[in-house]
Amino acid sequence: MRILLFLLILLLAACASKPPPLKTSQLYLAIAPDANGNSAFRLDVILTSDPALAAEILALTPAAWFAQRQQMAALHASTLKVVGAELVPGQAYGPVALTAKFRITSGLVAVGYDGAAADFAVLGANPSELLTLNRTGFALSAAGAGK
């Protein structure tokens, strides 16, 4: 009986230590006509089930991420999904459904703008999020009810 109780406590502790799933399930993109100085740019939606891997990716520069993304995707195939595209200014995209074959706990967006405006956005604050990209940067907010 003690062994059964001990195993039950271990199971409960293991379940309690799992990070919560990503709250965001949809991403919309609004790209201004002059985004990135009116130049096409790369954008990756990065989904993972490993919070340590998400932290490792955030420690990179976006340029380093784009250089290493194929290698990282191959190394972490069971815990990392990358959806990438080259986008042009003046367009709206979405919704992008955030799904994977694993339980998603972290969502990132790598924006490959030219120069200092390149950066990451961290998803998760809202069920539907809107990434607005303008001339010199971008902002993440809750997607409106009409989205």
pLDDT tens digits along 89-120:
998 888 999 999 999 999 999 999 887 668 99
How far apart are alpha carbons 79 and 68 in whole angstroms?
16
Indicate the number of domains in the chain: 1
- Residue 39: CATH number of its domain: 2.60.40.4150
Phi, psi of 134 (to 5 degrees): -120, -165
Tell me if 105 sits within 8 A of 19, measured CB to CB: yes
Cβ-based burial of 80 (10 A; exposed 0-12, middle 13-18, buried ≥19): buried
Cβ–Cβ < 8 Å for 66, 112: yes
Residue 5: inside a domain, yes or no? no
8 falls within a domain:
no
Q: What is the mean pLDDT of residues 12-21?
A: 64
Q: Which domain holds residue 123?
A: 19-142
Q: What is the pLDDT of residue 7?
A: 41
